[in-house]
Chains A and B, each alone.
Chain A
Amino acid sequence: MLRWMTTCLLFFAVSASAAIDTYEFQDDKTRERFQQLTEELRCPKCQNQNLADSNSPIAKDLRHEVYRMLDEGQSDNDIADFMVARYGEFVLYKPRKDLSTYLLWYGPFVLLALGLVVIVLMTRSKKKPVNTNAPAPDAEEGLDNQQREKLNSLLDQDRNK
Chain B
Amino acid sequence: MRRFILFAPLAIFLVLGVFLYQGLQLDPTKLPSALIDKPLPAFKISSLYDESRVLTEADLQGKPALLNVWATWCPSCKEEHAQLNRIKEEGYTIYGVNYKDDRGKAKEWLRRYLDPYSENIYDENGTFGLDLGVYGAPETYVLDAKGVIRYKHVGVVDERVWAQLKPILQQLESGSGVQ
A: which residues have CB within 8 A of B?
Answer: 44-45, 47, 57-58, 61-62, 65, 84-88, 90
Contact = CB atoms under 8 A, between A and B. Distances in A.
Contact of A45 (B32, B130, B131, B136): B136
Given A61-B130, A86-B130, A44 B34 contact: no
A50 to B, nearest CB: 14
Interface of B: 28-29, 31-35, 100, 126, 130-136
A57 B135 CA distance: 9
B125 to A, nearest CB: 9
A88 B136 contact: no
Given A61-B126, A65-B130, A45 B135 contact: yes
A76 to B, nearest CB: 19
Contact of B136 (A58, A65, A84, A90): A58
Contacts of B135: 44-45, 58, 87
Contacts of A45: 135-136
Nearest to B29: A47
A87 B134 CA distance: 8
A64 B134 CA distance: 16
B30 to A, nearest CB: 11
Contacts of B34: 84-88
Contacts of B100: 57
B35 to A, nearest CB: 7
A62 B133 CA distance: 11
Nearest to A62: B130
A44 B31 CA distance: 8
A88 B31 CA distance: 8
B126 A88 contact: no
Given A88-B33, A88-B34, A88-B133, 8 more contacts: A44-B31, A44-B133, A47-B28, A61-B126, A61-B130, A86-B34, A88-B31, A88-B32
A96 B14 CA distance: 30
A84 to B, nearest CB: 7
Q: Considering the complex of A and B, which 4 residue pairs feature the smallest CB-CB distances, nearest first?
A: A44-B135, A86-B133, A88-B34, A45-B135
